[in-house]
Structure 1
Amino acid sequence: SGDSKAYQQALAEHLTDQGAIMYGAYWCPHCANQKELFGAAVKTLPYVECDPEGENAQPQLCQAKNLVGYPTWEINGELYPGVHSLEELAALSDFQEESQP
């Protein structure tokens, strides 16, 4: 199922391996919603904090990307603004879940 912990973790690792990035801000409710979809695997997510007040912030990087809102995903060099389901992120990043034996 798309909500299992194993699936969340595998997708988060896949996104990291692909060089994908989630840009967001600590105060952004949509970013919090996006992170919640990953459950505990959120620790693995490639996340960039855009607000200078946030932890480990990289506002210059975010400005260079000309982001229109948060969160915005960068996958394979393309920007995808907004919250995306795990299934959408899997499709955008060509994630193939290893079939269970």
Structure 2
Amino acid sequence: MNTNIAIAGGIVLAAVVLLIVNVQSPDTAYSNLDLFAKCLTENNAVFYGASWCSHCNNQKNMLGSSMSFIRYVECSASDGRSQTEICRREGINAYPTWKFSGKAVEGELDLTQLSQYSGCSLDLIA
């Protein structure tokens, strides 16, 4: 009987540990990506995109809810065909375009590239 209690207790303990790990892991990853996104903004990174742009949407999905910390400029005018004045003035010719302290980089960037261009450490995500 003591063996059965020990086995049952071990199973319950293992289930609780797995539950805690699974519940905490997404929150930790989320907050770490928030730190990276905040660093991008602090280091003057600006993301220029268009609502209809699939590569821009991929970029937004990669950043997830941490997009709320990214300085994002929508370049598509309300008619969906023309460009907003700020994007014309900034010389945005392709989507997505990132600017890092004024230097433009066109195309979809992964986290490693964002780190390299911005100086934000990927250690913030780990």
User: What TM-score do you get using the length of structure 2 for normalisation?
Assistant: 0.67
What percentage of aligned pairs have identical amino acids? 32
Q: Which amino acid is the alignment partner of residue 53 of structure 1?
A: S
1:80 equivalent to 2:122? Answer no
Q: What is the distance in 1 between the residues matched to 2:41 and 2:119?
A: 13
SS of aligned partner of 1:23? strand
Distance 1:99 1:59, change over 3 A: closer
Residue 10 of structure 1 corresponds to: 35
**Which 4+ stretches in 1 moved above 3 angstroms?**
none
Matching residue of 1:91? 116
Deviations 1:7-55 (A, max 9, x none): 321111011111211001111111000011112101111100011118x
Residue from 68, 71, 74 that aligns with 2:93? 68
Matched, 1:53 2:78: yes
**TM-score, normalised to structure 1's length?**
0.82
In 1: Cα distance, 2:117 partner to 2:76 partner = 26
How big is the alpha-carbon RMSD for the aligned residues of Structure 1 and Structure 2?
Answer: 2.0
Q: Superposed, which structure 2 residues align to 1:11-26 within 5 Å?
A: 11-26=36-51
Task: Please say which structure displays the higher CA radius of gyration.
Answer: 2
Q: SS where residue 80 of structure 1 aligns? A: strand
Q: Which has the higher helix share?
A: 2
Q: How many pairs were matched up?
A: 94
One-letter identity of the residue aligned with 2:41? T
